[in-house]
């Protein structure tokens, strides 16, 4: 029969196990970040290539595709290691399911690139394809953040996910603005989409700042050069504050693209730092837990001489036994140092249990930040089931409502969920 | 490199793995229920033995101790199997930590029994010791319910935990009332404690009824005989509605004890049924998941001939490729049945992903029912840290405030947590 002490050790081993997995997941998030960055650049270059009828950025795009291939290989390697090393990863089922969804997208990249190179696609179609792929990669990061069991690590993962998501909105804004300037005019639908992208990225960066801690927040602020920001805001105003339909200077397309790109490249530096912090935190936490386990094991080796060491201390509130009336027991007569050990074992258990409880509470607070996205996912699922929509169609429907009503996506999602019973009864099942 | 399909399989394997663990945890909960029931009876018999100066229930107590030993062995065996078979169980660290806490209590039982047999303890002290041990066992059940990842199983585990907790409050009410009647009078403090125990058990049974489904709820109602309930309510009124200090008929002590015991024994039948339903549900779910896995594996065996089967379907929104302009690709020219397979793989991934999302949402709803207990635990932890109290002292302090202010324990806990910054700064660290 196992003793209470062996379960204390088992609990510590579980913690170390979870930290090891978090280290792997965090490494995964870092490599995905680099691939997303590379794909965002490729998307931008492909856009200009297609818009210029195949004349501009041919060589740059070729070079960027090579960068993407290396980043993709790193991601695939990390995926492979996840699968083989740890079948029982945090929320394994959901994480693996997201990976299963995005891998066919990576497999389809060569054909997408071929069609872009052959000028078979419009800039809008190519952009949409890259957006879908990046969204799939970010969904993997989201599950990694949602599955974390350590609140401090979870905090950084939530910051990371929101930063990456904000950066992606910035990338989409770049594409949206480049297309608007290049076409020589803006229309009301694109203006609304543009403002929506600005609002979305600002909210993401706010969550990032709330969760990343002051040092990273400072790095983020410092990375945004004031003149550059002023230039970007000026271009936004020119395009979005003007009445719809007013003509735009097509020459500003390149200015806008370069201005956005400098900002996005600066973001990548912050993201790399965040990934490095995440790695370091995982290492520190694992080292600390391992040291604690060693200390406990050393203590327990001493305790083996007293097999039911902690038992005597359990009912400690009871009045002391009368030494004349009771049979003398080894434990009752143990030396003071012995009693101290018994006490300390129970105290250690209690301490561990309260630490785990506190961690679990903190974790819930951190994860609340991920809830907005979950609400949107849930509303999408509802629409898909009740109205036989694809995921894309459901998302577009929510976004259209949000833009036309001037509300946030999450508010529309909440309305949809609260009206669930008014929707037509589920025709699928 | 692994394909998307292999991650779909991995996600399914994770689900099966989690279900297997849930089956083990559910079995553990069932055996703990039986041990708790046996200990509750032993507590009652020990109480009467001590109150009667060692004359009554001597043989019955001996027989009950044998029942307890068998139930304890079953629990220890299940603990052992947990540890060796599945190190990576749901919220392993917290579950194991609770087990580490309760095992010394089981180890200390022989000494507790010896002292009771030797008339060395008061009835109140003996009761307190059993209450502590049962609380430790229920904490293990709580973690099992909190760690469940399947919403339907989690629902039954939450019902089970609340039923067991309600039954324990009923057992404490039995002891409280028996002592009151036996002493020949009631005082205001005991009346308050008594009413508190009634309110607590009613809330637990309400949560049980909300989560157990109609069939078990009906069984629970049917198990409570109306004349017996009326008798218990009459005795409660006699003792609690009378002004404090009024003398009570000591002869009613036995009547009260028997009346409560019949009700508690009837509860055990409901609990056994709940445990059986839990086992059945785990078996059904595991069987269903295994069948799904087999079906998927069979399908994927066919797909091996098309290594990037799902890839062609990923960017499905793109306009179809011009067959003259593009190199003919195996996938683009695949037979209709081929394309159908590609689609179905992506659809399966999407379906799985949405199923997992829905499960995770439902799970959050179910787990909200466990939050009250977490708030109380958190407030206790805060008091322990800031005021250097033991867990028992912190709990008593919260309960005293709740009783004197006529508020629920969880409301007091919320007040304590909201005033956290007003507490003296942490002297421990």
ipTM of the complex: 0.72
Rounded CA-CA distance B338/B322 in Å is: 20
DSSP classification of residue B247: B
| Region of A406 on the Ramachandran plot (φ > 0 left; ψ -120 to 50 alpha; else beta) | left
What's the alpha-carbon Rg for chain B, to the nearest Å?
Answer: 28
Rounded CA-CA distance B148/B293 in Å is: 21
Rounded CA-CA distance A120/A46 in Å is: 12
Residue of B nearest to A312 (CA): B108
User: Where does the pLDDT of residue A298 fall: very low under 50, low under 70, confident under 90, or very high at 90 and above?
Assistant: confident
Using the Cβ of A324 and the Cβ atoms of chain B, whether some distance falls under 8 Å is answered with no
Residue of A18, A79, A97 to mutate, testing the B interface (most B Cβ within 10 Å of its Cβ):
A97
User: Where does the pLDDT of residue B132 fall: very low under 50, low under 70, confident under 90, or very high at 90 and above?
Assistant: very high
How do the domains of chain B map onto residue ranges? 21-285, 371-422
Least confident of A295-304, A409-418, B51-60, B127-136: A295-304
- Smallest Cβ distance to B17: which of A87, A322, A392? A87
Give the gap in angstroms from C-alpha A87 to the nearest C-alpha of chain B.
7
Cα dist from B330 to A108, B319, B339, whole Å: 13, 18, 11
**Model pLDDT, residue A309:** 55
**Model pLDDT, residue A388:** 76
DSSP classification of residue A24: H
pLDDT at A336 over 50: no
Note the pLDDT tens digit of each residue in A135-152. Answer: 999 999 988 888 787 888
Residue of B nearest to A12 (CA): B93
- Smallest Cβ distance to B93: which of A6, A14, A83? A14
CA B166 from chain center: how many Å?
11
For chain A, report the end-to-end CA distance as a whole number of angstroms: 49
Note the pLDDT tens digit of each residue in B268-278. Answer: 999 999 999 99
pLDDT at A212 over 80: yes
**Model pLDDT, residue A369:** 72
CA A387 from chain center: how many Å?
30
Note the pLDDT tens digit of each residue in A247-282. Answer: 888 888 889 989 999 999 999 999 999 999 999 999
Rounded CA-CA distance B275/B25 in Å is: 11
Q: Which residue has the higher pLDDT, B34 or B412?
A: B34
Check if the beta carbon of residue A342 is closer than 8 Å to that of residue A313. yes
| Region of A13 on the Ramachandran plot (φ > 0 left; ψ -120 to 50 alpha; else beta) | alpha
Rounded CA-CA distance B275/B103 in Å is: 22
- Smallest Cβ distance to B108: which of A96, A118, A311? A311
Tell me which chain A residues have a C-beta less than 8 angstroms from the C-beta of B311. 104-105, 107-108, 111
**Model pLDDT, residue B313:** 75
Residue length of chain B: 429
pLDDT at A329 over 50: no
Using the Cβ of B65 and the Cβ atoms of chain A, whether some distance falls under 8 Å is answered with no
Rounded CA-CA distance B308/A106 in Å is: 10
- Quote the percentage of chain B above a pLDDT of 70: 87
**Model pLDDT, residue A337:** 46
Give the gap in angstroms from C-alpha A225 to the nearest C-alpha of chain B.
37
Residue A94, token pair as written in the block: 């959901």
- Residue A419: φ, ψ to 5°: -100, 15
- Residue A76: φ, ψ to 5°: -60, -40
**Model pLDDT, residue A89:** 54
CA A102 from chain center: how many Å?
15
The B residues from 7 to 46 touching A (CB cutoff 8 Å) are 7-8, 10-15, 17-18
Residue A419, token pair as written in the block: 């009206």
Query: In a 10 Å sphere around its CB, with 0-12 CB exposed, 13-18 middle and 19+ buried, how is residue B141 labelled?
Result: buried
Using the Cβ of A318 and the Cβ atoms of chain B, whether some distance falls under 8 Å is answered with yes
Residue A348, token pair as written in the block: 């250690």
- Smallest Cβ distance to B97: which of A11, A115, A318? A11
- Cβ neighbours for B121, distance < 8 A, ≥ 6 positions apart: A318, A319, B50, B115, B129
The secondary structure of B121-176, three-state, reads CCHHHHHHHHHHHHHHHHHHHHHHHHHCCCHHHHHHHHHHHHHHHHHHHHHHHHHH
**Model pLDDT, residue B424:** 55
pLDDT at A427 over 80: no
pLDDT at B338 over 60: no
What is the topology classification, in CATH, of domain A371-418? Answer: Arc Repressor Mutant, subunit A (1.10.10)
**In B154-235, at which residue ranges do the beta strands (DSSP E only) sit?**
none
Check if the beta carbon of residue A309 is closer than 8 Å to that of residue A342. yes
**Model pLDDT, residue B250:** 84
Using the Cβ of A293 and the Cβ atoms of chain B, whether some distance falls under 8 Å is answered with no
Instruction: Collapse the DSSP code of B196 into the 3-class scheme (helix H, G, I; strand E, B; otherwise coil) and give the result.
Output: helix
Note the pLDDT tens digit of each residue in A344-366. Answer: 667 777 777 777 777 777 777 77
- Cβ neighbours for B401, distance < 8 A, ≥ 6 positions apart: B407, B412
Using the Cβ of A398 and the Cβ atoms of chain B, whether some distance falls under 8 Å is answered with no
- Smallest Cβ distance to B79: which of A2, A321, A346? A2
Rounded CA-CA distance B331/A104 in Å is: 13
Rounded CA-CA distance A128/A172 in Å is: 10
pLDDT at B129 over 80: yes
Q: Do A354 and B314 touch (CB under 8 A)?
A: no
Tell me which chain B residues have a C-beta less than 8 angstroms from the C-beta of A310. 103-104, 107
Q: Do A2 and B83 touch (CB under 8 A)?
A: yes
Least Cα distance to A260 among A234, A240, A242, A283 occurs for A234
Is the CATH number of domain B371-422 1.10.10.10?
Answer: yes
pLDDT at A428 over 60: no
**Model pLDDT, residue A421:** 59
| Region of A141 on the Ramachandran plot (φ > 0 left; ψ -120 to 50 alpha; else beta) | alpha
Residue of A nearest to B87 (CA): A14
Using the Cβ of B83 and the Cβ atoms of chain A, whether some distance falls under 8 Å is answered with yes
Q: What is the dihedral of CA B319, B322, B325, B328, to 10 degrees?
A: 110
Cα dist from B315 to B153, B305, B312, whole Å: 38, 21, 7
Rounded CA-CA distance A179/A124 in Å is: 9
Task: Please give the helix or strand (H or E) that residue B413 lies within, else none.
Answer: helix B409-418
Q: Do A121 and B312 touch (CB under 8 A)?
A: no
Check if the beta carbon of residue B141 is closer than 8 Å to that of residue B29. yes
Residue B418, token pair as written in the block: 């909201």
Q: Do A319 and B83 touch (CB under 8 A)?
A: no
Rounded CA-CA distance A96/A105 in Å is: 15
Using the Cβ of A384 and the Cβ atoms of chain B, whether some distance falls under 8 Å is answered with yes
Give the gap in angstroms from C-alpha B150 to the nearest C-alpha of chain A.
12
Match 């839990």 to its residue by tokens. Answer: B278
Least Cα distance to B390 among A340, A346, A299 occurs for A346
What's the alpha-carbon Rg for chain A, to the nearest Å?
Answer: 28
Note the pLDDT tens digit of each residue in B72-125. Answer: 999 999 888 875 445 455 577 888 888 988 998 999 999 999 999 999 999 889
The A residues from 103 to 132 touching B (CB cutoff 8 Å) are 103-105, 107-108, 111-112, 114-115, 118, 120-121, 125, 128-129, 132
Rounded CA-CA distance B150/B285 in Å is: 9
pLDDT at B383 over 70: yes
Q: Do A7 and B96 touch (CB under 8 A)?
A: yes
Residue B283, token pair as written in the block: 């078996």
User: Where does the pLDDT of residue A123 fall: very low under 50, low under 70, confident under 90, or very high at 90 and above?
Assistant: confident
Match 């394997």 to its residue by tokens. Answer: B13
Check if the beta carbon of residue B375 is closer than 8 Å to that of residue B414. yes
Q: Compute the average pLDDT of residues B28-42.
A: 95
- Smallest Cβ distance to B101: which of A118, A349, A378? A349
User: Where does the pLDDT of residue A304 fall: very low under 50, low under 70, confident under 90, or very high at 90 and above?
Assistant: low
Contacts 24+ apart (CB under 8 A), B63-69: B64/B38, B65/B113, B67/B38, B67/B41, B68/B35, B68/B38, B68/B39, B68/B42, B68/B109
Most confident of A8-17, A29-38, B253-262: A29-38
The B residues from 326 to 355 touching A (CB cutoff 8 Å) are 326-327, 329, 345-346, 349-350, 352-354
Least confident of A175-179, B174-178, B424-428: B424-428
CA B1 from chain center: how many Å?
42
Residue A63, token pair as written in the block: 């070079």
């Amino acid at each position: 029969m196992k003793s209470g002490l062996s379960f204390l050790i088992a609990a510590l081993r579980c913690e170390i196990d979870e930290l090891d997995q978090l280290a792997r997941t965090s490494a995964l998030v870092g490599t995905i970040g680099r691939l997303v960055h590379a794909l965002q650049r490729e998307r931008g270059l492909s856009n200009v290539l297609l818009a210029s009828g195949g004349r501009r950025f041919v060589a740059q795009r070729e070079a960027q595709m090579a960068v993407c291939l290396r980043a993709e290989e790193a991601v695939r390697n990390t995926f492979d290691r996840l699968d083989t090393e740890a079948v029982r990863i945090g929320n394994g089922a959901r994480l693996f399911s997201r990976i299963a969804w995005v891998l066919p997208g990576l497999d389809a990249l060569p054909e997408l690139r071929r069609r872009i190179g052959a000028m078979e696609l419009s800039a809008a179609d190519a952009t949409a394809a890259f957006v879908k792929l990046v969204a799939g990669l970010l969904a993997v990061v989201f599950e990694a953040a949602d599955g974390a069991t350590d609140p401090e690590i979870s905090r950084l993962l939530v910051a990371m996910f929101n930063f990456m998501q904000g950066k992606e909105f910035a990338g989409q804004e770049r594409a949206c603005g480049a297309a608007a300037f290049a076409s020589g005019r803006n229309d009301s639908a694109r203006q609304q989409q543009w403002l929506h992208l600005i609002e979305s990225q600002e909210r993401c960066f706010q969550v990032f700042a709330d969760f990343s801690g002051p040092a990273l927040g400072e790095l983020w602020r410092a990375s945004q050069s004031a003149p550059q920001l002023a230039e970007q805001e000026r271009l936004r105003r020119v395009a979005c504050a003007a009445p719809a339909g007013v003509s735009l200077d097509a020459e500003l397309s390149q200015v806008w693209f370069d201005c956005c790109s400098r900002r996005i490249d600066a973001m990548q530096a912050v993201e790399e730092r965040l990934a490095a912090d995440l790695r370091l935190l995982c290492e520190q936490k694992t080292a600390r837990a391992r040291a604690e386990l060693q200390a406990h094991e050393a203590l327990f080796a001493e305790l083996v001489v007293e097999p039911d060491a902690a038992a005597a201390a359990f009912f400690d509130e009871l009045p002391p036994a009368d030494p004349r009336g009771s049979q003398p027991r080894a434990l009752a007569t143990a030396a003071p140092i012995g009693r101290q050990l018994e006490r300390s074992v129970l105290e250690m258990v209690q301490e561990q249990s309260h630490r785990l409880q506190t961690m679990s509470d903190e974790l819930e607070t951190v994860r609340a930040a991920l809830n907005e996205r979950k609400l949107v996912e849930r509303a999408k699922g509802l629409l898909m089931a009740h109205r036989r929509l694809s995921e894309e169609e459901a998302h577009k429907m929510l976004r259209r409502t949000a833009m036309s009503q001037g509300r946030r996506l999450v508010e529309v999602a909440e309305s949809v969920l609260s009206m669930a019973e008014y929707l037509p009864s589920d025709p699928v099942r």
